[in-house]
Amino acid sequence: MKTTPIIFLISFILLSGFAYSVPQSVTKEITAAIRAADDEKLATYLNNTVDLTLPNNEGTYSKNQAQLIIKDFFSKTPPESFKIDHEGSSNNGSLYLIGTYKATGKTYRVYILIKKISDKYLIQQLQFEAD
């Protein structure tokens, strides 16, 4: 039966592509939320506790606290643009994004660490560092 290895190979490729598409949709949603300064949409991807680094504010916060801090940052520093410069994954399944957030007269390097928790991909760490 020569078709069995071919079917197995095709199934493996399709399943691998499907598994990879889930994180891609998550990264697109997170990117769109930051680009739109949408703290509510971004909060749907925050873990229950988040390591957050923003100008003059650094710590580990609950999801609700982190959302309020992010909302304040977005209101004081609205984005002119946000783009992902690099993304990847680690051996343990974590994803990372590195991007550039531009606001009026300011540029920030953004680092996002996303971990798979149960069946969801959630932000574990979010950093906005001034360039």
- CATH number of domain containing 53: 3.10.450.50
pLDDT digits (tens, 9 = 90+) for 79-94: 999 999 999 988 888 9
Which domain range does residue 86 map to? 3-130
The better pLDDT of the pair 20, 52 is held by: 52
The better pLDDT of the pair 43, 119 is held by: 43
Please state, for a pLDDT cut of 90, what percent of the chain lies above it.
73
Identify whether the C-beta of residue 40 lies closer than 8 Å to the C-beta of residue 30: no
pLDDT digits (tens, 9 = 90+) for 56-72: 899 999 999 999 999 99
Identify whether the C-beta of residue 123 lies closer than 8 Å to the C-beta of residue 106: no
What is the reported pLDDT for 6? 52
CA distance 83 to 32: 9
Please give the tally of structural domains in the chain. Answer: 1
